[in-house]
Amino acid sequence: MQFLEDLKNPDSQLVLTLNSLYDGVYVVDPNRVILFWNKAAELMTGYSAAEVIGYSCKDDILNHIDENGVLLCRSACPIVKAMEGKCNVAAKVYPKSKSGKRFPVETHISLIKDESGELVAALEVFRDISQQEEYRIMQEKFNSLIRKYVSTTTFSDIQTRIQTSDQSNVPRMLDLTVLYLDVVDFTGFSEDKEPEEVVRLLNDLFGICDVITRECYGDIDKFIGDAIMAVFNDANDAVRSAMKILDTGIPELNRVRNEAGLSSTSIRIGINSGLVLQGDVGTIDRKDLTVIGDTVNTAARIEKASIPNRLMISEATLARLSPQLSDSFTFHKDYELRGKAEPIKLFILE
């Protein structure tokens, strides 16, 4: 077919045109083996054409996941959906660049057929939508806030607060919700596994949690070994994020691992809310913008006390939830914390 022949010629008009595009473009054969990778795809992902041509998109080159944290490259990716459905497909996915950073892209897949109607290739065009996603989240937060205000004089003030809320490094006290998550028996898991398998588990898990946390308006403050600490302005967002990780992310991760002959994994999650101190912590040479305080410490201790693959929250978090979410929790137990005069009440998601 002339289309495929032209792809092999770097001086063909087709290749010159595809390489001049702002959007990333790559072409795969019916077995998902990459045949072409344009210059924009190289710039966006960090992978050169020489590094990917001849490999399959299911070989963990980009390790795509969707907005729910579902791993796509080893299951039903948009290209597979297009080929199986014999139709064009559009989707939002989160590939991982060569540097290890995930970024959102809007992707469109079109099918290429020969004169007899047989499928010979699929062409995927993708665009980095990081800025659009940041704007979308800001706009949604703004829409939520604006309902509480009716006077036009507050408009500029609200817009400024949204745009600059995370830009100030001046230490300040904030009312936040802190989510802690870690892998159950990670020490035992890592002792008898190859380093590559340990790193793969953490990268897959962290990738899922990162996407879901962002979709729920949270931010991962830090990775601590096999643990994650995330912060949220809204306790409802924190709980929704945890529920999504437990209901969708972890089952999908385990399904893919089981299909690859690997063991399942379990996690613990604990959530607490209250005042935290946000500011730069570190030395002159290196600083981290993070949150500290009793609220953070308590969240970590709740996580350690939680039941694997169940969501445990404090009464402080429960008090901040909407009725629709708070009604889903029941009292679990009083939990003694060293250094506190009174035990804290823990609630578990039914």
DSSP code per residue over 131-154: HHHHHHHHHHHHHHHHTT---GGG
Measured between alpha carbons, how far is residue 115 from residues 4, 109, 123 in Å? 13, 20, 17
Q: What angle do CA 143, 319, 323 make, to 5 degrees?
A: 65
Q: Residues near 213 by Cβ (< 8 Å), separated by ≥ 6?
A: 179, 219, 220, 230, 241
Q: What is the per-residue pLDDT for 146? A: 59
Residue with tokens 């709980």: 239
- The whole-model pTM stands at 0.58
Q: What is the per-residue pLDDT for 130? A: 84
Top-level class of domain 21-128: alpha beta
Distance CA 69, CA 245 (A): 8
Q: What is the per-residue pLDDT for 16? A: 93
**pLDDT under 70: residue ranges of the chain:** 67-69, 74-76, 137, 140, 142-170, 284-289
pLDDT in tens, 139-150: 767 665 654 443
Say which DSSP state 55 is in.
S
Secondary structure class of 80 (helix, strand, coil): helix
pLDDT in tens, 233-244: 899 999 999 999
* Side chain identity, residue 160: T
Residue with tokens 């005069």: 341
Parse the chain into domains and list their residue ranges. Answer: 21-128, 130-165, 168-349
pLDDT in tens, 30-70: 888 999 999 999 999 999 999 999 988 777 777 777 766 67
Top-level class of domain 168-349: alpha beta
Distance CA 344, CA 298 (A): 9
Q: What is the per-residue pLDDT for 302? A: 93
Q: What is the per-residue pLDDT for 62? A: 78
Q: What is the per-residue pLDDT for 42? A: 94
Distance CA 301, CA 117 (A): 61
Distance CA 29, CA 39 (A): 19
How are beta strands 105-113 and 119-128 bridged, if at all?
A: antiparallel
